Amino acid sequence: MGQKIAFIGLGIMGKPMAKNLISGGYELYVYDLFPDPVAELEKEGATGCKSAAEASSNADITVTMVQDGPQAESAITGEGGVIEGAAKGHLIVDMSSIAPGVSQRIGKVCDENGVNFLDAPVSGGEPFAISGDLAIMVGGSAEDFEVAKPLFDILGKSSILCGAHGAGQVTKLANQICVGANIHALAEALTLAAKSGVNPETVYKAIAGGLAGSNVINAKAPMMVDRNFEPGFRIELHYKDINNAMEAARDLDVPLQVTSNLQQVLTSLMIQGEGKSDHSAIAKYVEQLAGVEIKKH
């Protein structure tokens, strides 16, 4: 294959994604603020680096997968960041989920330094990061998208170029609005069933085959009825995404009524210490209001 890849950010999503690239035949140079995941990837055949700049200086393409906008800007444009080590024509693919305006700002700095840039946030959470079935939403040029496409084919089941810099992030925010609202509606539906004395598991199975059926319902209803809130995608991350959506909406003068309500629900769950729980724990918010628990009969 020949291409050398730098991978920056080896967290709950980044680590399995990096492993999939190694399995796909790429030579990886990795960096993270924490040493343990770097050591783990070294055992898989990657080369550990002391900075993002060092990693990118050894590579043709750099993938970043960090927490939010400030971390992405620091990793890419900050001191010791990717741009510092990147040669002219280097491609940076930021797969973090951040505000569209931040991606546009990073893209502008990359342009000024002769470095190419794609924003490419993903949907699917940790399970799909592990299985390589992520949905990848991309902003940038068609030429850069084609260069990155072989990586996307390893990391995801789909990758779509959505527009210019920031378009991938806008698409990801649209995804998170739909997912969060769907989970909230599902929680209300199953709470109503539980309060009515009807088995929530039966209700889920009955509605899954109709128009209400969705990937969200299939993934999250079993977690609710099993009281399993181990994270595939954490409340705190969905909270971050919805805050970014509301920031974008404010900047564009777009009223988002359902999203605004979802923001308040997630804020309440964060205050209650549910940030590390899976976003299916939105059910806990609804249950608390109703004084009932969703569970199998």
Tokens of 297: 């009969």
Q: Which of 15, 19, 172, 220 is catalytic?
A: 172
3-state secondary structure (DSSP) of residue 31? strand
Q: Which helix (H) or strand (E) holds 83?
A: helix 82-85
Tokens of 179: 């997912």
Looking from the CA of 118 toward its CB, the CA atoms found within 13 Å total 30
CA distances in angstroms from 178 to 183, 185, 241, listed in the order given: 9, 11, 12
Sign of CA pseudo-dihedral 245, 141, 54, 87? negative
Distance, CA of 10 to CA of 37 (rounded, Å): 6
Q: Is 50 a catalytic residue?
A: no
φ, ψ of residue 137 in degrees (nearest 5) = -115, 120
Residues belonging to the active site: 172
